[in-house]
A = this chain, B = another copy of it.
Amino acid sequence: MENSIAQVARNIVKGAPEPTLRRLPLYYRLLKQLRETGRTGVSCTLIGAELRLDATQVRKDIEMTGTVGRPKVGYDVNELICAIEKFLGWDNLTEAFLVGAGSLGEALMGYPGFSECGLSIVAAFDVDPNKCHRVIHGKHVRHISKMTGLMRRMRIRFGIITVPASEAQQAADLLIEGGVLAIWNFAPAKIQAPERVIVTNEDLYCSLAVLSQKMTRKLAESRSKGVA
């Protein structure tokens, strides 16, 4: 095998394929559960069986993180957990501001386990004065007018948008003004941002579409069987 550290560095530089990135957290969660039970080793076969994924696929994904296993034994659980953390950047704490202190914002502020992924929502902001000056899950909600200044002062580089679609662009503009590096956008709206800013959209309608079509197919299928 080739120098694996260099290989992983290269993987991080050019980036893993998105499907792989989306599966890594699933492994990560399972591995933590296994560690809880005192398990120290794990094979791709086992992970695949648990998550209903092809074992080879699991192996290829793990390969991306640079973890090496041993024939007949598999991987060291701890080592693998650390490798995934490192690969995803979950080993470094990122402080985030959240824009939009509605129920969705509140839900995210109270989301368990973000800290394990190196994410810490340190404060929330809202345009509505009635929503400000509260403390939700230990975090202060302030007026949006204070955000940009605080961002610069606290060197916050990560923003989460949980405002209605109609206000998403304004929220994004403020984050950009504050020097944001990455935006996690929960509003069902496309937002414009400079090339340098990373934007990831969490669009529920996209997921719903997948589910809706599966359901439509299933219903059509059962109907045609009923007829036949």
On A, residues with C-beta under 8 Å from B are 12-13, 15-16, 18, 21-26, 28-29, 50-51, 87-90, 92, 94, 102-104, 106-107, 110-114, 117-119, 157-158, 164-165, 181-182, 184, 188-190, 198, 200, 202-221
Query: In the complex, what residue of chain B is closest to A89 when comparing beta carbons?
Result: B216
User: With A113-B205, A200-B210 given, can you name 6 additional A-B contacts, CB distance below 8 Å?
Assistant: A15-B217, A103-B104, A181-B218, A184-B211, A198-B218, A202-B207
Across-interface contacts of A107 in B (CB, < 8 A): 102-104, 106-107
Across-interface contacts of A21 in B (CB, < 8 A): 206, 209-210, 213
CA A24 to CA B210, docked complex, whole Å: 10
4 closest Cβ pairs, A-B complex = A89-B216, A104-B107, A103-B107, A25-B205
Please tell me which one of the listed residues B16, B181, B190, B207 contacts residue A215 in the complex, with CB atoms under 8 A apart: B181
A interface, over-half SS: helix
Across-interface contacts of A198 in B (CB, < 8 A): 211, 214-215, 218
- 28 CB contacts below 8 A, A to B, read A12-B216, A12-B220, A15-B213, A15-B217, A16-B213, A24-B209, A25-B205, A29-B205, A50-B190, A88-B216, A89-B212, A103-B106, A103-B110, A104-B104, A104-B107, A111-B204, A112-B164, A112-B165, A113-B205, A119-B208, A119-B212, A181-B215, A182-B211, A182-B214, A184-B208, A184-B211, A198-B214, A198-B218
CA A31 to CA B46, docked complex, whole Å: 45
